[in-house]
Amino acid sequence: MQPRHITYLILAALLPLLTACKGSRSAAGTTDPIMPGRTLSYEDSRRFDAYFLESLRQREKGNYDAQYELLTRALAVNPDAAEALYETALLKLSFGGFDDTTHRAEGEAMLHRAVALAPDNPTYKETLANQMAREGNYAGAINLYKTMVQHHPTTDNITALIALQEESADFAGAIESITRLEEIEGKNERYSLEKFRLYTQLGDNEHAYAAIEDLCAEYPGDLRYRVLMGDLYQQNGYNEMALAIYRDVLAVEPDNAYGQISLLAYYKKIGQDSLYHALVEEVVLNPAATGEAKTEALRGYMADNLQAGADSTAVMRLFSRALAMPQENRSLAELCVYYMMMRGMPEKDIKPVLEKLLETEPDYTPARMSLLNILLKKGDMKAVARLCHDGALYNPAEPVFYYYEAAALMQNEQNAEALERLQRGEEYIGEDTDREFASDYQSMLGDLYHATGDTRQAFSAYEKALGMKSDNIMCLNNYAYFLSLTGERLDDAATMSRRTVEAEPDNATYLDTYAWILHAQRNYREARTYIDRALEKTPEEKGNASIFDHAGDIYYRCGERTQAVRFWVKALSLYETAKERAAVRNKVKRRRL
């Protein structure tokens, strides 16, 4: 290991692991019994203590390279120091990386040695057991925890042992450990239910029945356990007994979600399709049924329909009737959206379901994002503005809402309001924000600053945008064009504009910008070449008035006044504001710039 080469970024990322380990460790605060074999002189003892204690100080300061060097020196003085071995092992395991098997192996070996040297230190054993489990050595980890439980039968130790036993499918061992836990803490509902589950996993029906019967007797008012008893009967083929229990539960509590869902599964299993479909409808349309029961009933019904590739009419009719009722949560609407997407239904049909979902849970951002996508495709910018404004109220840290609300306001020529929205959301653009989106955000800020007359702020925003994504083509175009209007840094403007033309050689807007910059540089002949290319791609519509206006100016500078006037006349017919029309009308009248 060469810790001096470890980057501080990696060290910082792994600091929580060391801190967590440190929190429960007694290595520095206790004296561990040391295996016989090495006796240090007084001087060596002092040297070791100095190195080791300084290593702990460096660890607290986050100087892990220095800590490692000091631990190496400490172990050179006393290779049998369990506390130094333990600390070094943590460093190797923390900084070795997933693919660094050498450091992981060295770290685990050091932990083994620390445990051997200090067998009474529970922290060393716990750390070693957890490391063995991470490496997939469940048998070793379980054996180590068993020794810990033998000497320290705490709830934490036994719970950790149970988790390892279940992870390794040692269900019988897990049951024994739960029984041990019950001896310490007494029986409770959670432990009994877990034992029932484990007996079921083992296929030990005798003990599973006994466990669930005990739960039924202990908690007679909780009908869940009666339903679980019915489920166990059903799994083992005792269908009549299962049905009797389900009916008994639903007689006592007709809207019991567990009983309803289990009875649905029962009808489905025995092929009683008519009873199954009738019960699905009964549950889904029952105002007293829980949202969970309705969702589970429709989930199974929907899954069967998808698997069979059957007609969607019946499913959608049931969804429609269910969604017309008051909703407890978003689950039904979300399930309906999923089904509609799986069936490839049109977005115009999905849209009202998403709106229903947001009525129920307006703070559910994924649904709002899906609806936003539909509205953007549709071009309904007024609806986009409303949707995003509300989205920012429920989730103010989501910059997407500010961005698209501003875009909608900008399209409606509400530039001051759009700028205010973008400024409000700018603080939520961080290092973890997608760079392309962050660049577009700053680019739009630049556009709005320029539209509201703040050229300096506009250019600053464009610089930020290009710093985030240097090939942001729209930003390059707008920045270059607005620079050309000031007559400043024309060479920089030309360089940026040329990049846009190279990226999209058929884009009329980018060709027009480049032609206009060449015009500003008095390179009129080349400017005409590019404006001609722009004109080839430009339909005669209102949004393109400036391209014809620019063409007139460029042709005039090239000495072709008659054609210049024709372009100005065309621009005059397309411009929408009085100010723009007045400027070009003056050129037409004078037949010159």
Task: Give the tokens for residue 362.
Answer: 């307006």
Compute the distance between CA of residue 513 and CA of residue 212 in angstroms, rounded to an integer. Answer: 78
Architecture field, domain 1-135: Alpha Horseshoe (1.25)
C-beta atoms surrounding 531 within 10 Å: 30
C-beta atoms surrounding 22 within 10 Å: 16
Give residue 257's pLDDT band: very low, low, confident or very high (50, 70, 90).
Answer: confident
What value does the mean pLDDT take over residues 474-498?
96
- Tell me the pLDDT of the chain averaged across its residues: 89
The pLDDT value recorded for residue 504 is 97
Domain segments of the chain: what residues? 1-135
For residue 543, pLDDT over 90 is answered with: no
Give residue 28's pLDDT band: very low, low, confident or very high (50, 70, 90).
Answer: very low
For residue 258, pLDDT over 60 is answered with: yes
What value does the mean pLDDT take over residues 369-393?
97
Give residue 30's pLDDT band: very low, low, confident or very high (50, 70, 90).
Answer: very low
The model's pTM: 0.69
Residue with tokens 């649905």: 264
The pLDDT value recorded for residue 38 is 67
C-beta atoms surrounding 549 within 10 Å: 23
- Range picked from 33-42, 51-60, 191-200 for highest mean pLDDT: 51-60
The pLDDT value recorded for residue 96 is 65
Compute the distance between CA of residue 553 and CA of residue 546 in angstroms, rounded to an integer. Answer: 11
The pLDDT value recorded for residue 441 is 98
Measured between alpha carbons, how far apart are the two ends of the chain, in Å?
A: 75
For residue 356, pLDDT over 90 is answered with: yes
The pLDDT value recorded for residue 13 is 34
The pLDDT value recorded for residue 358 is 97
For residue 35, pLDDT over 60 is answered with: no
What value does the mean pLDDT take over residues 169-173?
93
Short-list 471, 474, 541, CA closest to 507: 474
**How is residue 489 annotated by DSSP?**
S
Share of the chain above pLDDT 90, in %: 71
For residue 25, pLDDT over 80 is answered with: no
The pLDDT value recorded for residue 98 is 53
Q: Quick: pLDDT tens for 60-105.
A: 999 999 999 999 999 999 999 999 999 999 999 888 655 567 888 8
What value does the mean pLDDT take over residues 38-49?
88
Complete DSSP assignment for 232-292: HHHHTT-HHHHHHHHHHHHHH-TT-HHHHHHHHHHHHHTT-HHHHHHHHHHHHT-TTS-HH
Q: Quick: pLDDT tens for 307-332.
A: 999 999 999 999 999 999 999 999 99
The pLDDT value recorded for residue 211 is 85
The pLDDT value recorded for residue 191 is 86
> In this structure, are residues 300 and 268 in contact, taking their beta carbons and an 8 Å threshold?
yes
The pLDDT value recorded for residue 255 is 86
> In this structure, are residues 515 and 530 in contact, taking their beta carbons and an 8 Å threshold?
yes
Stretch among 18-32, 68-82, 483-497 having the lowest mean pLDDT: 18-32
Q: What are phi and psi of 560, to 5 degrees?
A: -105, 75
Compute the distance between CA of residue 22 and CA of residue 4 in angstroms, rounded to an integer. Answer: 22
Short-list 136, 104, 111, CA closest to 125: 111
The pLDDT value recorded for residue 182 is 87
